[in-house]
Amino acid sequence: MFEFAFMRRTLLVGMFLGITIPLIGIIMVNRKTSMMGDALSHTSLAGVALGLILGINPSLGAVVICIVSAFLIEALRYRFPQYGDMATAVIMSVGLGFASILSDFTPGGNTLESYLFGSISASSPCDVIAAFFLFVVVLFATIFLYSPLLTVSMDANLARLDGIPVMGINSIFTLLTAVTVALSAKTVGVLLVSSLLVIPVACALFLVKSYKQMYFTAVSLGLVFMILGLTLSWHFEIKPGGAIILLATLSLLVSALIAKARRDKYGAKIAEENTSKSFSFP
């Protein structure tokens, strides 16, 4: 597997994105905007088609369309805060409509199809460089904006009272989200990248209790899902996106069972203590 240059490139991209995607996903889950990732991933398909038509890198087209769509969603959510979900659905619908029309004019149908579920041989040297720089920027932003991001994602009004530039923080996060989703389309697939944004975070919520532990757990799981999924895709000749998400879903079920076992054990312990107290005499 490692003797092939395209596979080494794919694994490198997978490692960088396996860390980057959960870092973005944690903020999205805390902000209750998980569906934004789904909207952007579907909208990025229009950028891919546009790139193929214009003869430029499809990932560049996906990045541009995702950035425009992300800021449109944020603008609509700000203008109509009570209709935040509707804004996400509208932008996704418009993006899918453009993608449907543009797909009739793309010169390579197989190339466009490979973006739907990911392609193990699609990563180029430019994709490796882009994924690395995105990883560095997102990691830097996560470390140095840890407290502001946490406060903004929990309560924007409280963040404003604390003097945090909410608009600036949201703009940075929106930009990073758009670029992350666009660059993940090649490896994970347009239809599945939103799942990788959410599932590692959901697993971490079952397994840990603190916010900091959630970061480490979600990132570790995202990296494991990505590498194992790509490896299975290579050995069994299946779509990488499907392999990655099925692994993540299985892990989510296991995490839920572990959390349930912990609750049952804790409940049994409390019941035992109450029973012993009821039969004790002064």
The range of the structural domain enclosing residue 114 comes to 5-278
Q: Domain count for the chain, please give it.
A: 1
pTM exceeds 0.85, yes or no: yes
- For the chain, the residue count is 282
What pLDDT does residue 275 have? 65
Tens-binned pLDDT, residue by residue, of the chain (282 aa): 667 787 888 889 889 999 999 999 998 888 888 888 889 988 998 998 888 888 888 888 999 999 999 999 988 888 877 776 788 888 899 988 988 888 888 875 556 777 777 776 677 888 889 999 999 999 999 999 888 888 888 788 888 888 889 889 989 999 999 999 998 887 788 878 888 899 999 999 999 988 889 999 999 999 999 999 989 988 888 888 888 889 999 999 999 999 998 888 877 667 666 666 554 444
Burial 174-204 (b: 16+ CB within 10 A, else e): bbbbbbbbbbbbbbbbbbbbbbbbbbbbbbb
CATH no. for residue 67? Answer: 1.10.3470.10
Write the secondary structure of 157-195 as one string of H (helix), E (strand) and C (coil): HHHHHCCCCHHHHHHHHHHHHHHHHHHHCCCCCCCCHHH
Dist. CA 119–CA 134, nearest whole Å? 20
